[in-house]
Structure 1
């Protein structure tokens, strides 16, 4: 067992790593943060703290990548995302957390393997696919705590300029996370004793986003995208071993 101090330090360092890699890879920090935080906290607490981390994270990204927003994508992807994140968050009350962890682990493994193998997969940039991406990413974010990978893939098909991509994705994510924070709070997932993490998570979000931005400016994106997919695969595999244990 970890002591409370060990948990605090390990938890925050893990959150910082998730924020840096999530910014670089373009998937957002939750795809890394949720499974890694599961080694420290129960699944419902992880959902609550993930939402709080993401609110701070995306506010930071909007400040750092402030070259403009794509209003059409905010409507086509953001609106269905917000609607379905409420549904996903509400359903977490009625689904066994062990089952949710299994679903998340399988999702991470399948997602990473698919895009490592199918490197040139293409999604047509139309309104229907944008809305579908918003629905699935919002529902996944509410139910499993992570939906950025699905939304990132959808937005990538629109070939946006890098800063517009990040700013627009961050704005949509901010809408999703503000909404699910309210839902999780009402569900009792954000406990009083865990509020102590909030100022530290804010600092982690700002520092991690800044470090990720600086690395992203200097290194080829495709290299880090592949690195991110491999890391997602490893995390998903570790989660399955943790569940079996």
Structure 2
């Protein structure tokens, strides 16, 4: 019992910290939390627990920025994200665990490379943005969170601060709800994983609220550097130990 209490305490702290980070930098919380969950739950259950936790984190960011959300853009994104998330979630239920762990590790490293190689992204039209939604929905279903890769496309549409944070979070909520339906139907989301995710949801919500409060006070580049350093360490570890 003491071991489980300490494990839950660690997960609560990690959920709070990464949700706060996402609320400030607009990305990074989910992908930093993912390696922690993989270590505790295993790759497949980690994605399910992360989905529940991220739903709370993103839902909180939606509420705190609700007056600035670009609802039309969320609908365009959802048009591509929902069907692709269904396909990705179904694939997750059949993926071998060692391969899935390595995919997650490679994905985390790819995020850092992507952000350095493509720091800026051209503005896409509605069809292109729906395609980004499709790629995001599929990737999110397999690895839990793809926020750092899609963030530049939201920024390229002219969204800033609260509008960007809220709109990106609302789009993520659509994907997470879709994944939860499939995970539940395929028995990937069990009572155990669901309860763990719900137990961590309050910490994620408080973290999002705290991040909203400090959004205008701290330099975001500092958080970005910390996120990328964490991604490199986590991605390398998962890639080397996936078998």
TM-score higher than 0.5: yes
Q: Mean Cα displacement is larger for which, 171-180 or 74-83?
A: 74-83
Q: Please name the residue that 1:125 is paired with.
A: 124
The 8 Å contact of residues 47 and 184 in structure 1, kept in 2 or not, is answered as no
Residue 65 of structure 1, CA deviation: 1.3
Residue 28 of structure 1, CA deviation: 5.2
Deviation digits for residues 166-200 of structure 1, max 9, x if unmatched?
A: 11111111111111111111121222234443443
| CA distance, structure 2, for counterparts of residue 42 and residue 114 of structure 1 | 26
Q: Mean Cα displacement is larger for which, 93-102 or 198-207?
A: 198-207
Alignment RMSD: 2.0
Matches within 5 A, 1:151-162: 151-162=150-161
Change (3 A) 1:150 1:113: closer
Q: Please name the residue that 1:72 is paired with.
A: 72
2:82 aligned with 1:85 = no
2:208 aligned with 1:190 = no
| CA distance, structure 2, for counterparts of residue 145 and residue 169 of structure 1 | 15
Q: Please name the residue that 2:12 is paired with.
A: 12
| CA distance, structure 1, for counterparts of residue 171 and residue 91 of structure 2 | 21
Q: Please name the residue that 1:96 is paired with.
A: 96
Count the aligned residue pairs: 242
Which structure 2 segments of 5+ residues have no match? none
Q: Please name the residue that 2:208 is paired with.
A: 209
Q: Please name the residue that 2:149 is paired with.
A: 150
Q: Please name the residue that 2:43 is paired with.
A: 43
| CA distance, structure 2, for counterparts of residue 56 and residue 126 of structure 1 | 30
TM-score (norm 2): 0.90
| CA distance, structure 2, for counterparts of residue 28 and residue 230 of structure 1 | 11
TM-score (norm 1): 0.90
Residue 142 of structure 1, CA deviation: 0.9
Which structure 1 segments of 5+ residues have no match? none
Change (3 A) 1:120 1:195: closer
2:102 aligned with 1:135 = no
3-state DSSP of counterpart to 2:68 = coil
